[in-house]
């Protein structure tokens, strides 16, 4: 909770960092080595211990997705199935790999990819599916994997919202083909900017650790021992997408704090559900907040609610809200060719509203936000 001109401001989301992160950054500053070195290695080992899988850290979640797609052999001419209701980062990462993102509809209960719609869009060029774990929920993940198997597709999970979420008792990123996380400032944990790829596929992890350093073969290991390659070879397209020690030092502290972040986010979401589930003008996502660690908390408003007016009135009371997201098939770059409407996505987009969710809120803040919301829409 922040105050603005003596009025409480319930921020939609924010970075939750403190003395531990500041001290860690200051220590890297004092070392006079800010680039990629031992801190990145330490953060990767921490994430590997947490997820029980191989992990490679990169500059952000978007580059993590792009490198994961590239390492899966996705290339120009290929098609990748993905829900339209996601941040444009997912679409840009697919398009950066040279492939075409094929916009699919969503299930109305979880806002994850609608497999019936996706199956109609499979062609001989389809090579992968990118399930987006919207708001932290994964939907019917085992059905998604069965679909991928049936159609011979790689599955690259966009788990940017879902760090810490479990499915059938297992952490997202500890199961499946490939999972990608984002550590941008407002995600479930942050390293300032940053992201990672988690997988059991050793060759894929090796390929990404080279590709993130301009494709210089085995440069990662050199840097972890404080050295630099000079007599090197490059065998594929690489990018300048590695993580810095400055970023990793923040991530290391955030990972230690994650158990608190997780229970806080789950507690706040559970409270929102208690307060809003019986309100006729509001629909909620069907997520179980024992398993799901919510990154955002979207609600769906009844058609007769004027969302713009509601957002203005709530902001006047200090409640920030958001709209996640403008669907990608509405964007000129991704939608204008062969535009087709997506029934559930377009309906959801017209009525969706995201409420404040971050670990520095307390239960009383959620109560206040719900009070303001209900007093605006119930009359």
Ligand X SMILES: *Cc1c(COP(=O)(O)O)cnc(C)c1O
* Binding positions for ligand X, rule: CB under 6 A: 60-62, 86-87, 89-90, 132, 158, 160-161, 182, 184, 195
* Nearest to ligand X of 318, 356 (CB atom): 356
Q: How far apart are CA 67 and CA 69, in angstroms?
A: 5
User: Helix or strand or coil: residue 40?
Assistant: helix
Q: At closest approach, how far in Å is the CB of 372 from ligand X?
A: 26
CB of 234 to ligand X, least distance (A): 25
What string of DSSP letters covers 78-141?
Answer: -EEEEESSS-HHHHHHHHHTT-EEEEE-B-TTT-SB-HHHHHHT--TTEEEEE-B-GGG---SH
Cα within 13 Å of Cα(327), Cβ side: 29
Query: Nearest distance from residue 43's CB to ligand X, in Å?
Result: 15
Residue placing its CB nearer to ligand X in the complex, 251 or 318: 251
Nearer to ligand X, 93 or 282 (CB): 93
Closest to ligand X by CB, 144 or 377: 144
Could you tell me the smallest distance in angstroms from the CB atom of residue 194 to ligand X?
Answer: 7
**Closest to ligand X by CB, 87 or 272:** 87
158 or 210, CB closer to ligand X? 158
Residues near 114 by Cβ (< 8 Å), separated by ≥ 6?
83, 104, 105, 106, 107, 344
Residue 242 phi, psi dihedral angles, 5° rounding? -75, 165
Tell me the H-state helices in the chain.
19-31, 38-51, 61-71, 88-96, 115-120, 141-150, 202-211, 219-224, 245-276, 307-316, 332-335, 343-351, 363-377
CB of 329 to ligand X, least distance (A): 16
Least CB distance from residue 333 to ligand X, whole Å?
16
């Amino acid at each position: 909770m922040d105050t603005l001109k003596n009025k409480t401001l319930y921020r939609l989301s924010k970075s939750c960092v403190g003395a531990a992160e500041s001290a860690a950054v200051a220590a890297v500053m004092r070392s006079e080595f800010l680039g990629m070195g031992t801190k990145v290695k330490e953060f990767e080992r921490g994430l590997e211990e947490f997820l029980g899988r191989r992990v490679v850290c990169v500059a952000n979640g978007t580059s993590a997705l792009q490198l994961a797609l590239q390492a899966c052999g996705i290339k120009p001419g290929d098609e990748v199935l993905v829900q339209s209701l996601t941040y444009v980062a997912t679409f840009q990462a697919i398009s950066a790999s040279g492939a075409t993102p094929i916009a699919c509809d969503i299930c109305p209960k979880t806002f994850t990819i609608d497999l019936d719609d996706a199956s109609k869009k499979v062609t001989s060029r389809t090579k992968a599916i990118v399930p987006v774990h919207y708001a932290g929920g994964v939907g019917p993940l085992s059905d998604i994997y069965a679909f991928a198997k049936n159609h011979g597709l790689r599955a690259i999970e966009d788990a940017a919202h879902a760090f810490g979420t479990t499915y059938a008792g297992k952490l997202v990123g500890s199961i499946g083909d490939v999972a990608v996380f984002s550590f941008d400032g407002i995600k479930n944990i942050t390293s300032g900017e940053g992201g990672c790829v988690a997988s059991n596929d050793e060759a894929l992890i090796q390929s990404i650790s080279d590709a993130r350093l301009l494709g210089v073969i085995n440069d990662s290991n050199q840097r972890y021992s404080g050295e630099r390659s000079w007599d090197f070879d490059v065998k594929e397209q690489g990018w300048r997408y590695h993580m810095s020690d400055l970023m990793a030092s923040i991530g290391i502290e955030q990972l230690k704090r994650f158990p608190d972040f997780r229970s806080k986010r789950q507690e706040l979401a559970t409270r929102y559900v208690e307060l809003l589930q019986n309100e006729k003008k509001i629909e909620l996502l069907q997520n179980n907040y024992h398993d799901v660690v919510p990154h955002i908390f979207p609600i769906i408003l009844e058609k007769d609610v004027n969302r713009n007016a509601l957002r203005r009135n709530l902001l006047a009371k200090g409640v920030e809200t958001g709209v996640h997201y403008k669907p990608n098939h509405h964007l000129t770059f991704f939608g204008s060719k062969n535009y087709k409407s997506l029934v559930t996505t377009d309906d959801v987009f017209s009525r969706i509203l995201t409420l404040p969710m971050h670990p520095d809120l307390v239960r009383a803040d959620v109560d206040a936000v719900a009070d303001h919301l209900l007093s605006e829409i119930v009359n």
